[in-house]
Amino acid sequence: MRAFQIETFDTPPRLVEATTPEPVKGEIRLRIHACGLNFADLLMSQGKYQDTPTPPFTLGMEVAGVVDALGPGVTGPAPGTRVVVFGGRGGLAETGCFPADRVTPIPDDMPFTDAAALQIAYGTSHVALDHKARLKPGETLLVLGAAGGVGLTAVEIGKLMGARVIACARGRDKLEIAARAGADHLIDARTEDIRETVKALGGADVAYDPVGGDQFTAALRACNPEARILAIGFASGDVPQIPANHLLVKNVDVLGFYWGGYLKFRPSVITQSLTTLLDWYGQGLIKPHVSHVLPLDRAAEGLELLRSRASTGKVVITP
């Protein structure tokens, strides 16, 4: 089979011929039809992600496909079942083996590209806003990076949860995408002062930040008393240093959030969230925005789209 692998952190990942794996105890084998790319894949390719394995390994965190074999002791899902799974790695390949307890069947009418784009982006925003920040109807939600993979889902889910949503992104084209997802107010990060614009709109009760850097600082200063600011990621490459005196004066909470971490210490949060998201999808309440669908031999191009911020929503690879 073909797989897009990291052989060393000093060389770029490349497409290689690999042996088709056999599932061991507790695993299923999947014929992979789609794999969603994430910023974490970029960090992992550089050895900078918190859960980076030792090379060689295959990139690709979230996949959708068809079960074609069960490991010893595994009773299901049965071969032929269409499923989605967060494997953490191994998705940028034609075949992969993944933990059976992470597999969730998907509806027959759900495209594999939608399924592969759903888990991390929507899961991150849903668990962050609902479980972690406890966003309430009528509150004001500020979303930074609002046209990116997770930011766009935060706009969509924030509106579903009854919030007034302020979307911040770079350029009018990206802001138009956020507007179509339900944003009430738009801020162009290239030309507008985030702090002053948000304050003029009444301030933020919850801020969702996958960007970091100066935008985090601006969002923090635009927060209302008792606001919650979610540190989702640092796409800018700049991890902000938080002035504790600002937290004290405004009684603001800064909440660190890592979706994948719940699989280790409280997996029920993830499974309950995915059940909700699939139900919303079935009702037509959410629809993944996929800006690029590329074949496996263009996986490097897909990663570059993330690195350059040229994509909106998700980039999906179809082995």
Q: Which CATH class is domain 2-119+263-318?
A: alpha beta
| Sign of the CA dihedral running 69, 70, 75, 77 | negative
Is the peptide bond preceding residue 56 cis, with omega within 30 degrees of 0?
yes
Q: What's the rounded Cα separation, in Å, for the pair 145 and 163? A: 17
Sketch the domain layout of the chain as residue ranges: 2-119+263-318, 137-257
List pLDDT tens digits, range 127-168: 999 999 999 999 999 999 999 889 999 999 999 999 999 999
What is the dotted CATH code of the domain comprising 137-257? 3.40.50.720
Give a three-class secondary structure readout of 72-86: CCCCCCCCCCEEEEE
Identify the pLDDT of residue 263. 86
**For residue 312, pLDDT beyond 90:** no
Give pLDDT, residue 199.
97
Could you tell me if residue 90 is left (phi over 0), alpha (psi between -120 and 50 degrees) or otherwise beta?
A: left
Q: What is the pLDDT of residues 263-299, one digit of tens each?
A: 889 989 998 999 999 999 999 999 999 999 999 999 9
Query: Residue 95 pLDDT > 90, yes or no?
Result: yes
Structure-block tokens of residue 90: 């191994």
DSSP state of 181: T
Distance CA 56, CA 307 (A): 22
Q: Which tokens belong to 282?
A: 């079935």
Q: Concatenated DSSP letters for 291-311?
A: EEEEEGGGHHHHHHHHHTT--
Per-residue pLDDT of 165-176, as tens digits, reads 999 999 999 999
CA nearest neighbour of 87 among 56, 53, 113 = 53
Could you give the 3-state DSSP secondary structure of residue 128?
helix
Could you tell me which of 58, 2, 68 has the C-alpha nearest to residue 29? 68
